[in-house]
Amino acid sequence: MTYVILQPCCNDASCVAVCPVNCIHPTPDEPEFMRAEMLHIDPATCIDCGACVDECPVDAIVPEDELDDDDSRYLALNAGYFDVHPVDDMPMVQNKSWRKGKFSDLTVAVVGSGPAAFYSALDLHAAGAARIAMFDKLLTPYGLARFGVAPDHQSTKAVTGLFRSLGMKKNFTLHLGVTIGEHVTHAELLQHHDAVIYAVGASSDRRLGVDGEDLPGSHAATEFVAWYNGHPDYANAQFDLSGERAVVVGNGNVALDVARILLSDPEKLAKTDIADHALEALRRSSIREVVVVGRRGAAQAAYTNPEMLSLLDVPDLDVFVEESEVAPDGVTTAMLEAEDTESAVRTKVALAREVAERAPSGASKRLVLRYLLSPKAIRGDGRVESVEFVRNRLQFDTDRRIVAIPTEETVALDAGLVLRSVGYKGRPVRDLPFDEGRGVIPNVDGRVIDPDTGEPIAGVYVTGWIKRGPSGVIGTNKKCAVDTVDALLQDHLEGILTPAGLPAESLISIIEDRAPDALDYEGWSRIDKAERSAGKERSRPRVKFVDVESMLAVARRS
């Protein structure tokens, strides 16, 4: 018997370290890791020891004989990975000799409190750093784990349990409600710490660049996600759900999330931590169909197979695919016939074609997946009424990459709501260089560089999406953070870092003076406890506070 990794997999890779037979891949040392949609267990190598089960932070691993019908596909998903990546071909683990150094005098500031920030802090703590201080402009930590993960994916949110363990460590301090660049400058952080790691994510959205994009009824999907997840900056946002159809442009996991939330039974969502204002709006919603549109084919779809499979399990929902848009074509056929094509890509095509052949069940709501369409314009008289698309065809470019080429054919879809989901983008950080084109802080292996000289800026590092762009899942940030911390530790041992010139206590005084509403971990713990308590009364994981005043009132209780 083998164990099987399921949809909640967050790619944290804690399971990899405890496997005695090296059967879980890709590992963080393998090049496939950073682009893998999930981890996989090789059924031919697994010895049924169960060590990985206890280590998984999101309960994503089960024995084969406990798979239910909905999860049975994951056995093939796990095994298929090793058809392309046999265990015998896996690289050796890198020997990190610098990890044996002494870091008991190292002090580091971490800006941001999402997964990348906490993974960095956890790794610094494990290395023996003397002091780790974390800063976030919001009054609640965990970033996208709180405000990005869909409310019906509670198992994925469980990764915050790992981060919670850091809160009471003596060498860790949390400063919430502190904006770097406003309350504390970048220079002041460096004066009080040996190094600074920026893990500020990618909070902006990429635009479509088409006419009508700013019409009322056209929104960034990032705003919609923040709204239903209770982000205080978006608690008062308004979305018109009075029409029967919504169109989501882009087909990544976020696109599938917003489509699923729009079409899910509100009473099932009422058992999650969705924001109350969003729940009430969804109860009044008239939307019965969501069309998710991608510019290339099913093989190139940005969503992951686990997200697609979870979509097929939504009750009272028919999922449709236009058969002509997933029919075999020369480019896709050539790609599927190539020996090195990933099993995940083959599965995407197979799933899309399977759905296209399904007969409708008569469900009250529909989700339609469209491919090979690029937005041309958003139309409407004073507000969104329709979206015009141009039909694409696939071809290989000179580098044998598959690209979408527009044709003369156009397609129009009526819609009262349009959500743009074509990617996140980082925002500039005051006093740091910024790459506007990529939406990241320029860096090499996590070391921030001067774009004019290409030389590293001593003591300044990045991790997460602001380092590499918006890619991967929550656990991907662990590998990203460890790589950045590796660079920082090596620089410390080589004497590259400038020691902090001022004591930590003086920075505390600055924060108390400039950000009097700032909270520490104890203050956040009071908010956390109050949210969980309110949730328990309503059989929910938590009921989120969505306004600053309520959070501060709870945090200040003695």
CA-derived radius of gyration, the chain: 24
If you write DSSP's letter for every residue of 297-356 in order, what string do you get?
Answer: -GGG-SS-HHHHHHHHT-TTEEEEE-GGGSS--HHHHHHHHSTTS-HHHHHHHHHHHHHH
pLDDT of res. 297: 96
Task: Tell me the C-alpha distance between 67 and 76, whole Å.
Answer: 12
Which architecture, in CATH terms, is 3-89?
Answer: 2-Layer Sandwich (3.30)
User: In this predicted model, what pLDDT tens digit does every residue of 228-255 receive, in sequence order?
Assistant: 999 999 999 999 999 999 999 999 999 9
What is the structure's pLDDT at 419? 98
Laid out side by side, the sheet with 373-379 consists of 373-379, 386-396, 402-414
The CATH topology of domain 101-203+426-518 is Rossmann fold (3.40.50)
Could you tell me which residues are beta bridge partners of residue 447? 444, 461
Whole-prediction pTM value? 0.92
CA angle 408, 358, 410 (to 5 degrees): 10
Q: Which of 16-20, 93-97, 431-435, 458-462 has the lowest mean pLDDT?
A: 93-97
Q: What's the confidence (pLDDT) of residue 512? A: 95
Give me the percent of the chain exceeding a pLDDT of 70: 99
Residue 98 predicted with pLDDT over 80 = no
**Burial label, 365 (beta-carbon count in 10 A; 0-12, 13-18, 19+):** middle
Determine the pLDDT at residue 558: 61
Phi-psi region of 195 (alpha: psi -120 to 50; beta: other; left: phi over 0): beta
Q: Give the tens place of pLDDT for each residue, 121-153.
A: 999 999 999 999 999 999 999 999 999 999 999
| Bigger pLDDT: 89 vs 454 | 454
pLDDT grade for 1, boundaries at 50, 70 and 90: confident
Q: How far is CA 413 from CA 7, 127, 154, in A?
A: 32, 55, 33
Beta bridge partners of 24: 41
| Amino acid of residue 106 | L
pLDDT score at 91: 59
Q: Where are the domains of the chain?
A: 3-89, 101-203+426-518, 207-422
- pLDDT band of 87, cuts 50, 70, 90: confident
- Partners of 292 in the β-ladder: 248, 369
Name the nearest CA neighbour of 71 among 155, 130, 136. Answer: 155
Closest CA to 443 of 464, 424, 473, 470: 464
**Model confidence over 345-399: pLDDT tens digits?**
999 999 999 999 999 999 999 999 999 999 999 999 999 999 999 999 999 998 8
pLDDT of 15 > 90? The answer is yes
Per-range mean pLDDT, top range of 79-83, 287-291, 499-503: 287-291
Query: How far is the CA of 367 from the CAs of 119, 301, 334, 411, 418, in angstroms?
Result: 36, 16, 29, 18, 14
CA distance 505 to 493: 25
Above 70 in pLDDT, residue 90? no
Q: Chain-wide mean pLDDT for the chain?
A: 94
pLDDT value at position 333? 94
Mean pLDDT of 77-87: 90
Per-residue confidence band for 468, with pLDDT thresholds at 50, 70 and 90: very high
Average pLDDT over residues 519-523: 96
pLDDT at 530 over 60: yes
Per-residue pLDDT tens over the stretch 309-334: 989 888 999 999 999 999 999 999 99
Q: What is the pLDDT of residue 88?
A: 75
Ranked by mean pLDDT, which of 13-17, 19-23, 194-198 comes out on top?
Answer: 194-198
Q: What is the architecture, at CATH level 2, of domain 207-422?
A: 3-Layer(bba) Sandwich (3.50)
Return the pLDDT at 170: 92
Nearest Cα to Cα of residue 438 among 461, 464, 467, 460: 467
**In which residue are the tokens 């976020």 written?**
254
Residue with the larger pLDDT of the pair 320 and 91 = 320
